[in-house]
Amino acid sequence: MTNTPPRDPQEPYAEPNLAEPTYAEPTYDPAANAQTPVTNPPAVREEQPVAEPAPVETTAPEKPAKPKVKGSLAGSTWVAMIVGLFLLIALLAFILQNQQPVELKLWTWEFSFPAGVGFLLAAIVGALIMALVGGVRMLELRRQAKKNARR
């Protein structure tokens, strides 16, 4: 609020200067009686528009990190089965496209059947050999584990 005297309606209205607020200077009168307090006229202060505070950036609280899930045997088996399925589809397409008869000789035996089927049989024999070698390795590891458990 401002303390301004009432304006005479006959006088032209002058805009107040808002650039420089006016303040009443405090006065000190040493000759005045010590019991009588010095009264200063109230300071006249033009109200300045209040600047809005800058918006505060709020960040969401950090969520605790989720523990990583370790891969499982079932998960890796599932992936291997899907890859095997794609390979089987590719092999089936290969067999169907190679139907011309071929003669195969193994020592004293002679065979005649489609080329695709021959490659399929070769793949099956290779997989059986791989499984046999893997089985032997598992038996060796099991035997070593039993020896270490006895010690």
Per-residue b or e along 50-62, where b marks 16 or more CB atoms closer than 10 Å to that residue's CB: eeeeeeeeeeeee
- The identity of residue 108, as a single letter, is T
Please check the confidence at residue 83 and state whether its pLDDT lies above 90.
Answer: yes
Mean pLDDT of 82-111: 86
The reply to whether the predicted model has a pTM over 0.85 is: no
Which of 36-50, 90-104, 133-147 has the weakest average pLDDT? 36-50
Give the per-residue pLDDT at 32. 59
Q: Are 112 and 102 in contact (CB under 8 A)?
A: yes
Contact call for residues 118 and 102 (beta carbons, < 8 A): yes
Q: What's the mean pLDDT in 108-130?
A: 86
> What is the per-residue pLDDT for 56?
66
Whether 24 contacts 40, CB under 8 Å: yes
Distance, CA of 12 to chain centre: 68
Q: Which residue has the tokens 């200063």?
A: 40
* DSSP for 104-117, written as a single string: EEETTEEEEEEHHH
Query: Which segment, 4-8, 57-61, 67-71, 112-116, is predicted with the most confidence on average?
Result: 112-116
Q: Which amino acid is at 123?
A: A
Residue 78 and residue 135: Cα distance in Å, rounded? 21
Helices (H), the chain: 73-97, 115-150
Q: Which DSSP symbol is given to 147? A: H
Give mean pLDDT, residues 51-71: 70
Helix, strand, or coil (residue 56): coil
Segment 6-49, tens digit of pLDDT: 666 666 666 665 665 565 666 666 665 555 555 665 666 666 66
